C-alpha cells in the first residue's frame, strides 16, 4: 500500500489520492483509494460517494467489496470511506490489512501531521508520498511527516508539490527524497462547506494540466512503489 501524507491540512493530500488513483486506473489496473483519516474524512466528500458503509464495516468482518464506492466522475478507482471519529486505532489496524490485497494498487489518504493518528496508517503502508505546497511552513511540517515515516520503517517514495508550476529548489534536500511531480494551482475559491469542497475537488481534478501531472506521478511510482 502507498500512503499519501502531508504535514498540514489543505495541502492537496486528498486531491492527490484521488488524482493519482484515477491516473493509475487509466493504466487498466484496479485501484482502491482508502480514507484513513477519522478526524477529517474528506475523501468521500471530494469523490462524491456515500460515507457509509466504510472501513468500520470492514473491521467488523464485512467483505471489502461491500465498502467500496465508485466516484461518478472518476473511472478506474473506487473509494473506501473513513470510519467514524468515534472509532479506535485498533479497528483501523484491523481493517487496513484487509484492503491491502483487495486491489492491484491501494492508496491510503492519511491524517495530516506527524502525530499518533497519522502514524497508524503509515505503519501499514509499504511506502509514502509526502504532499506539500511550496509555502515554507507547509514544507517544514512535511519534513516532520517524512521523518516520522522513516522512524516507523516506512519508505518515503518521494514528494508531490501542489499549487506549484515548478520545483522552487531545496525541497529534495529538506525532505531527503525526490520531487516526483508538481501539480499546478487551480482556482478553487478556498472551499469551506462540504458541497464547496466537493465542487472544488471536481474542478481541480477535471483540469487537463492537473490530470497530466498525476499521470506523470503515476508513471513515477508504479514500477517501484506499487
CA 3 to centroid of chain Cα atoms: 6
Tens digit of pLDDT for each residue in 42-58? 999 999 999 999 999 99
Predicted local confidence at residue 41, as pLDDT: 94
For 188-223, how does the pLDDT look when each residue is reduced to its tens digit (9 = 90+)?
544 445 556 667 777 889 999 999 999 999 999 997
Only one residue has cell 506523470, namely: 216
- DSSP letter for 184, please: -
Domains of the chain: 2-225 (3.40.50.300)
**Which pLDDT belongs to residue 112?**
94
To which residue does cell 501531472 refer?
Answer: 213
Sheet hosting strand 31-35, strand order edge to edge: 77-80, 31-35, 105-109, 2-6, 127-132, 155-162, 179-183
What are the cell numbers at 102?
A: 483487495
Query: Is pLDDT above 60 for 39?
Result: yes
Report the range of poorest mean pLDDT among 22-31, 50-59, 80-89, 194-203. 194-203
Instruction: Tell me the C-alpha distance between 34 and 210, whole Å.
Output: 21
Q: How confident is the model at residue 187 (pLDDT cuts 50, 70, 90)?
A: low
pLDDT of residue 40: 93
pTM higher than 0.75:
yes
- Which residues make Cβ contacts (< 8 Å) with residue 180, sequence separation at least 6? 129, 157, 158, 159, 160, 216, 217, 220, 221
pLDDT tens-digit series, residues 54-66 = 999 999 999 999 9
Cα 223 to Cα 135: distance, rounded to the nearest angstrom = 30
Question: Is 5 in a helix, a strand, or coil?
Answer: strand
The closest of 141, 119, 160 to 20, measured between CA atoms, is 160
Mean pLDDT calculated for residue range 110-136? 96
Q: Is 4:20 a contact under the CB 8 Å cutoff?
A: yes
- What pLDDT sits at residue 190? 47
Residue 219 — φ and ψ, nearest 5°? Answer: -65, -35
Q: How many CB atoms lie within 10 A of CB 153?
A: 8
Amino acid at each position: 500500500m502507498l500512503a499519501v501524507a502531508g504535514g498540514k491540512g489543505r495541502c492537496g493530500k486528498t486531491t492527490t489520492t484521488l488524482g493519482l488513483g484515477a491516473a493509475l486506473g487509466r493504466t487498466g489496473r484496479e485501484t482502491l483509494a482508502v480514507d484513513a483519516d477519522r478526524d477529517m474524512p474528506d475523501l468521500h466528500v471530494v469523490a462524491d460517494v456515500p460515507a457509509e458503509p466504510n472501513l468500520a464495516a470492514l473491521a467488523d468482518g464485512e467483505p471489502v467489496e461491500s465498502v467500496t464506492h465508485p466516484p461518478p466522475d472518476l473511472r478506474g478507482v473506487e473509494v473506501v470511506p473513513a470510519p467514524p471519529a468515534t472509532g479506535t486505532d485498533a479497528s483501523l489496524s484491523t481493517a487496513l490489512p484487509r484492503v491491502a490485497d483487495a486491489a492491484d494498487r491501494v492508496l491510503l489518504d492519511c491524517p495530516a501531521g506527524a502525530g499518533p493518528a497519522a502514524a497508524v496508517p503509515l505503519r501499514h503502508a509499504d511506502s509514502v508520498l509526502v504532499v506539500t505546497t511550496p509555502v515554507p511552513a507547509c514544507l517544514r511540517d512535511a519534513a516532520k511527516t517524512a521523518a516520522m515515516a522513516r522512524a516507523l520503517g516506512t519508505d518515503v517514495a518521494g514528494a508531490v508539490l501542489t499549487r506549484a508550476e515548478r520545483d522552487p529548489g531545496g525541497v529534495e534536500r529538506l525532505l531527503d527524497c525526490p520531487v516526483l511531480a508538481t501539480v499546478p494551482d487551480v482556482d478553487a475559491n478556498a472551499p469551506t462547506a462540504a458541497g464547496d469542497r466537493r465542487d472544488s475537488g471536481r474542478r481541480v481534478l477535471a483540469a487537463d494540466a492537473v490530470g497530466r501531472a498525476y499521470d506523470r506521478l503515476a508513471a513515477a511510482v508504479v514500477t517501484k512503489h506499487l
